[in-house]
Amino acid sequence: MRLIELSPPGRKVVTGTLLFTTEDIIRFAKKFDPQPFHVDAEAAKDYVFGALCASGWHTCAGWMKTYIAYWTKEVARLESEGLIAPKLGPSAGFKKLQWLKPVYAGDTITYSVQLTESRPLTSRSGTFINITINDGVNQHGDVVMRYEGTVLEFA
């Protein structure tokens, strides 16, 4: 079955929720993005964000983490019902990634995915490109992250 049959355009699917602890924020940032406002709560007060907050890449990786958990369960569910799950491939990139609000220590982000468009890839027959809107919302209901993702699908 095709993704567009499983997930009609405009239907928002919540993929999961992730708590960003101080420890997780600092651990990620020390590896990949050690700017003061991502690794040092005291120093962060002197910057625009005003307090320790997650690297934007950490927020994005969190979307992926909940998506894979959701998709793994979804594939198992479809197979248990005797259906053939959509065969999704890698992504060629993303557009319009907005980090709309900082993700502060202690924030809980609920992520979602929404298919907007699916079309055949002209350069590779039997392959489709799916466009999705992916977002993350904090415990106050504020959208903290949103981007337009792409994922390949094989017929």
Partner 1 sequence: MAGNEFYFEDFTAGRVFPLASKLVTAGEIIEFAGEFDPQPMHLSEEAGRASILGGLSASGWHTASVFMRMMFDGWLSRSSSEGSPGIEFMEWKKPVLAGDTLSGRSTVLESRPLRSRPGIGLVRFLHQVENQRGEIVMRGENPIMMRLRAAREDAA
Examine residue 34 and tell whether it contacts partner 1 (CB under 8 A).
Answer: yes
CA distance 41 to 48: 13
CB of 61 to partner 1, least distance (A): 4
CB of 63 to partner 1, least distance (A): 8
Examine residue 92 and tell whether it contacts partner 1 (CB under 8 A).
Answer: yes
- Its sign, for the CA torsion 123, 129, 1, 65, is positive
Nearest to 130 by CA among 119, 140, 139, 141: 119
Sole binder of partner 1 in the list 6, 57, 75, 110 (CB under 8 A)? 57
- Residues 6 or more apart whose CB falls under 8 angstroms from that of 110 comprise 14, 16, 17, 136, 137, 138
CA distance 153 to 128: 5
Quote the tokens at residue 146: 């949103």
Examine residue 70 and tell whether it contacts partner 1 (CB under 8 A).
Answer: no
Print the binding letters for residues 110-149 with partner 1: x by CB under 8 A, - otherwise: -------------------------------------x--
Q: How many residues does the chain have?
A: 155
Q: Which stretch binds partner 1 (CB under 8 A): 6-14, 83-91, 105-113, 130-138?
A: 83-91
The CB density around residue 128, as the number of other CB atoms within 10 Å, is 21
Sole binder of partner 1 in the list 17, 35, 110, 114 (CB under 8 A)? 35
Residues lying near partner 1 in the complex (CB under 8 A): 28, 31-37, 47-49, 55-57, 60-62, 64-65, 68, 89-100, 147
